[in-house]
Structure 1
């Protein structure tokens, strides 16, 4: 039976009072800021809001299931999980089976905030996640191409305070506090606007108020059946549209309902959070952790297939959880010692065979540092890097089949060391060869700054770095020196400016530098920087030799010759390393 649920204000009041809650089978909030803005523009234009599916929970069943609150202050790194409700009132509860994303979007926009990572910033940096709230430009216009009419944006307080002739940024959450139109009129009267602007801004603000406080836009269907199996089936069917329900969501849902001693949802999310914070930060997901659980527990074919999610397998996963957890943390720390992080790890799935190897041998933190494991670590690292360098991509299509095969090889031959040669032979048979042709070697010598393969390649051909420090891929000749104006002043012909700028961003002009040195180096010419930081001539000559910088010129005029010389030197070294 379909019911009228009233206004958005009434809906959020029930969310605030926890009359509307989320069952444990729900996924995380996945909408992006632009999706929330589009939702509000659609609401203001009067487009249909969609129907919700609610699940009425009788009081006697309230402790049978686990429930969560809606996210309000969303933070991409620190606060993206729904908080579990430990105590529930002794009354009927209404769980949301379909509509979580829309309700959470309304909750964030009208009661909370959204903090996402700024491009180019470190995942581990707090400053990379400025808190933003939803604003509406009362004088703004929409985008004709996208069909929007209103200008909604998530802004920081500083950006919102920058009011210009064509902007009056109104914090959307303030509309909840304005119960009647008199308050709106008083607010408008305080704005320094001309008559035309007053008219336009007033109309937009009154439309927003009507959309939130007056329009009955909420409708819902209520399910009263208390059997979890039926509810789970309804949930999966209802989530087949929109942002698709993944197999991992299904697995998590089943695990939540079948684990006996642990809260599967909290365990998995906690592990994902902990893995993300290791080293310079990773961007692993619950999908990866769940697939690792299947792989390390020797369940089925590693894939997210329904037959892998039966009760027996889920109980096996729970029994193995402590060992799985410790192994995934160890594997993540191992990747961090290799210098990998969220910005340069090309394929997150590559951690899975590494984790299975560590799990199979029951290795611990000793593996990360003890000399007795040095040769084995190097063999594993070489295989991992080679798999990252293949342009065709090793970790894409056929992933489950590859992982299942690698698991069998490690199980059979990985008792005393990483079976790299056997693994590579099997990968070759499967069309995933780790051998490199002459054309591939040429392509590698021109990898560009920002390519995720670039760090892996530099870390392979230049040894001796301690990756427990923050390392960056940096330019030998600073990129700022290749601005057209500076090249012209240096006497470089204008017709060469574009090609020189392109060369400046390619491998022959790249190196690895620890973060503090990278920051201090800035726009210094390389010979000046080396002389300053390495005043000892013998140390400087040794460094230049190991980093293939022997032919480093004193001026940028000779850059093209240096580029050609180092490109050939790099190709020779790459060929040598990848031939192993």
Structure 2
């Protein structure tokens, strides 16, 4: 690795313009925001060092073996977030940037192009939410005192820029510095706007011109070894030192470098967006997709290790990408059918073995509603929810667990979801789904309204609920009638009973699942009054049985006694569903 002679910012941008500086496919996408770009230029104008850069000289006989991308010039958050692949002519050498992509891309965008990000509260689907902005500098005033610690007022602004007439701001277009090699032209521009005699403005523009064109500020260290494994090792060592670039980003970059016909970065990002949905129903990450890819394509070790992302494994993933995508899409849809979402899915990894089972059987979207598969879906649902409720299942030892679940599904999952065999193997690994009476008590006491685990518990307790429909977690006795002030005003409870009543208010004892329209219609009415208007005598009895409800309370006077009885009924039902017993005495409240 050799230290190169320092070059100016203008020289570096010209190299980018001539495609002499390119990006290797192992680099991730551009992620800097406009604040980071303006901070970079504030540092440049103040004469601060902006760090060194690491490059890789790829010789002409080697360059044809790899993918390369051009530096982004026109960033658009909606329509143009990724760099375009370059078709490097055969026999042409290139210099690929291993460290410094974000800074160099920012320089290229600011001096040659534009930056279009969504404005606050702008609708994602509307073009006007993404105004094209270019870098400007106020040459009349320093930045106002702020927490950002910047001195100069650089801003990304949409054109045409309105220049105030009060003499507080003149927004100089920074991008005009790149194509202008004559400082006199810039001074003439200032003069044409009545700033020819403004010493501060002239000094500032002159200093910025010098920083771009005259001062050799960029220091490159260049690697010339042509061994891709060594280059990847250097790249990972350099980039993994920070906290911003995640391990999955690095491994995704490696996958991108090794796919032949598809762009792994775009394909994986598109799948993540599909799984999460436009309404952000889930928050699955690239990590989940990449680990699923290893799992579904049969890679022995599913750990996030560089050696697992070798060329052979990545080509296998590319070849089977459509199958992987389809299986993950069906699996995420199935979790949604179970009523799970970003708000209550406490472990994203549960998606992976379900996707593998779907992949193993070759199931498609019809599995989600085919009548013949109803019992199988119920088995998947019960297993998934219990695994989410059991502490530690999806924590440490995840890679080993996934490999063993895959073995069980391969051996026993050709026709049905092998719940019994999966749980036997999980128990052997110390990941049992058997619950003790104490764990049932913990579930009853620990999860309350607003907690992520409440919906899975309610879904398990009430399997009759069609969670494919939108359901609300409803307070059986309206929360608004159980405020501390209202209960005190009621005057019927002692201080201890008041504390119990408040605790029960948001506990499982006072919660149920109601479909959205039904819950809206219920409003804040006393439960018995609502039920009498909603149900016939027969349907009321059925409603109580299905939801483990004692006869509904008709007033606050009956509320506390009713909660104690419902708490007991739910605990017994939950214990039975979890394969254990539970006998809590009435009035057992923290």
Common fold by TM > 0.5: yes
- 1:301: Cα distance to partner? 2.4
Is the alpha carbon distance of 1:174 and 1:471 closer, same or farther for their aligned partners in structure 2, counting shifts above 3 Å?
farther
Is structure 2 residue 115 aligned with structure 1 residue 112? yes
| Residues 471 and 514, structure 1, Cα contact 8 Å, conserved in 2 | yes
Q: What's the secondary structure of 2:453's corresponding residue?
A: helix
Is the alpha carbon distance of 1:84 and 1:282 closer, same or farther for their aligned partners in structure 2, counting shifts above 3 Å?
farther
- 1:551: Cα distance to partner? 4.4
TM-score (norm 2): 0.73
Is the alpha carbon distance of 1:327 and 1:485 closer, same or farther for their aligned partners in structure 2, counting shifts above 3 Å?
same
Aligned CA-pair RMSD: 5.2
Q: Aligned equivalents of 1:185 and 1:348: distance in 2?
A: 61
Q: What's the secondary structure of 1:452's corresponding residue?
A: coil
Q: What's the secondary structure of 2:287's corresponding residue?
A: helix
Is structure 2 residue 141 aligned with structure 1 residue 139? no
Q: Aligned equivalents of 1:528 and 1:19: distance in 2?
A: 77
Is structure 2 residue 220 aligned with structure 1 residue 220? yes
Q: Aligned equivalents of 2:472 and 2:553: distance in 1?
A: 23
Is the alpha carbon distance of 1:109 and 1:521 closer, same or farther for their aligned partners in structure 2, counting shifts above 3 Å?
farther
| Residues 480 and 524, structure 2, Cα contact 8 Å, conserved in 1 | no
Most deviating of 436-445 and 44-53: 44-53
1:454 aligned residue: 454
| Residues 136 and 173, structure 2, Cα contact 8 Å, conserved in 1 | no
Q: Aligned equivalents of 1:375 and 1:549: distance in 2?
A: 26
Q: Aligned equivalents of 2:335 and 2:443: distance in 1?
A: 22
Is the alpha carbon distance of 1:125 and 1:448 closer, same or farther for their aligned partners in structure 2, counting shifts above 3 Å?
farther
| Residues 279 and 468, structure 1, Cα contact 8 Å, conserved in 2 | no
| Residues 478 and 522, structure 1, Cα contact 8 Å, conserved in 2 | no
1:4 aligned residue: 6
- 1:398: Cα distance to partner? 0.4
Aligned length: 548
**Unpaired segments of 5 or more residues in structure 1?**
119-123, 158-167, 190-200
CA-to-aligned-CA distance 1:196-243 (integer Å, 9 cap, x gap) = xxxxx99xx999979986986543334456664553343223223113
Q: What's the secondary structure of 1:112's corresponding residue?
A: strand
| Residues 522 and 530, structure 2, Cα contact 8 Å, conserved in 1 | no
Q: What's the secondary structure of 2:322's corresponding residue?
A: helix
Q: Aligned equivalents of 1:271 and 1:363: distance in 2?
A: 18
Most deviating of 405-414 and 105-114: 105-114
Is the alpha carbon distance of 1:476 and 1:38 closer, same or farther for their aligned partners in structure 2, counting shifts above 3 Å?
farther
- 1:449: Cα distance to partner? 2.8
2:547 aligned residue: 547
Q: Aligned equivalents of 2:448 and 2:172: distance in 1?
A: 44
**Unpaired segments of 5 or more residues in structure 2?**
159-167, 181-185, 581-590
1:196 aligned residue: none
Q: Aligned equivalents of 2:526 and 2:221: distance in 1?
A: 68
1:121 aligned residue: none
Which entry has the higher C-alpha Rg, 1 or 2?
Answer: 2
TM-score (norm 1): 0.74
2:318 aligned residue: 318
CA-to-aligned-CA distance 1:51-90 (integer Å, 9 cap, x gap) = 1123456788776543345676575xx6795243366799
Q: Aligned equivalents of 2:301 and 2:451: distance in 1?
A: 32
Is the alpha carbon distance of 1:95 and 1:551 closer, same or farther for their aligned partners in structure 2, counting shifts above 3 Å?
farther
Is structure 2 residue 349 aligned with structure 1 residue 349? yes
2:424 aligned residue: 425
Q: Aligned equivalents of 2:556 and 2:108: distance in 1?
A: 56
Q: Aligned equivalents of 1:149 and 1:467: distance in 2?
A: 51
